[in-house]
Amino acid sequence: MHYGYLAAVGAYVIWGLLPIYWKLLNHLSPVYILSARIVFSFFFCVLLVVVMRCWPKIRAELRRPGRMFRIFIASLLITVNWGIYIAAVNSNHIIDVSMGYYLNPLLVILLSTCCFKEKLSRWEWLAIGFAATGVLLMIFRFGQIPWISLLLGTTFAAYGAVKKALHLDGLTSLTLETACIFPMFLFSLFWMERAGQGAAGSSAGILFLIVFSGVATALPLLLYGHAIKWIPFSTVGFFQYISPTISLILGVLLYNEPFTTEDFTVFLFIWAGLAVYLGNGLVSVWRERVR
């Protein structure tokens, strides 16, 4: 369980800093960056499987069509999430990305009660209510539907729920997920290079970042996969606030994205929900230690 906590913190810190990485590649098409992420993540995972001799686990899963279908669903969810994320970051919507991942832990605890029958306290329901109020205020008061935020939060929460149900270790899961979509995105990578829309002719530093994107992508997902295996799914949501806090600071202070009064009002409700959830969690931990 302690390794699960460390894995969750590590994953969310890396995710919070990733906008810096993708901003360095913002002259490339989001589709190209997404294709590179998936292709080089697959190669990195295969290398780890060979080094750690995990082929028996891979073969065992390949013989189970029902589980492979769920792995395929997980791969589609994370692909959509990655695509929206890259496009949002490189079109100066890091604050929207931050909001999506602030919403995610509350969506996670909501899914935990729907999918895994984890009972929620009245304080957790209150936390969800605060976040929902913030989103509804944005829609009805300010006339904006936060599509980027809602899609990012929902796809990642659903992805985590599918992975939790599979109960696979992070490496096996990610290797199979990337393998499901690898051929399509390998073709996309070659097609864009031939069409002159790739990274051919770029500096050595850019080419290194493209190749290393596999490690940057796979490492936090491997940590996340271990976290949801070792600790309760609702507890994983407890750590999710780390990533959007880092991203919000980057968006406002480093990339000078506008942070309006309307944005602050919506974030205030979401932060209130997170504060209620965080406070309830800390009280529960304290009571358990006293007991």
pLDDT of residue 142: 64
Q: How many CB atoms lie within 10 A of CB 217?
A: 26
pLDDT of residue 1: 63
Residue spans of the chain under pLDDT 70:
1, 115-118, 141-142, 233-234, 237-238, 285
Which domain does 225 fall in, by range?
2-290
The pLDDT tens digits of the residues spanning 172-186 come to: 888 999 999 999 999
pLDDT of residue 86: 94
pLDDT of residue 287: 77
How far is residue 251's CA from residue 249's CA, in Å, rounded to a whole number?
A: 6
Number of domains observed in the structure of the chain: 1
pLDDT of residue 77: 95
How far is residue 12's CA from residue 49's CA, in Å, rounded to a whole number?
A: 24
pLDDT of residue 37: 92
Token pair listed for 79: 């692909």
Token pair listed for 30: 């989001």
Token pair listed for 113: 């009660």
- pTM value is 0.85
Q: How many CB atoms lie within 10 A of CB 176?
A: 22
Q: What's the DSSP call for residue 251?
A: I
Token pair listed for 127: 């936390």
pLDDT of residue 141: 67
pLDDT of residue 215: 92
How far is residue 117's CA from residue 120's CA, in Å, rounded to a whole number?
A: 9
Q: Are 61 and 68 in contact (CB under 8 A)?
A: yes
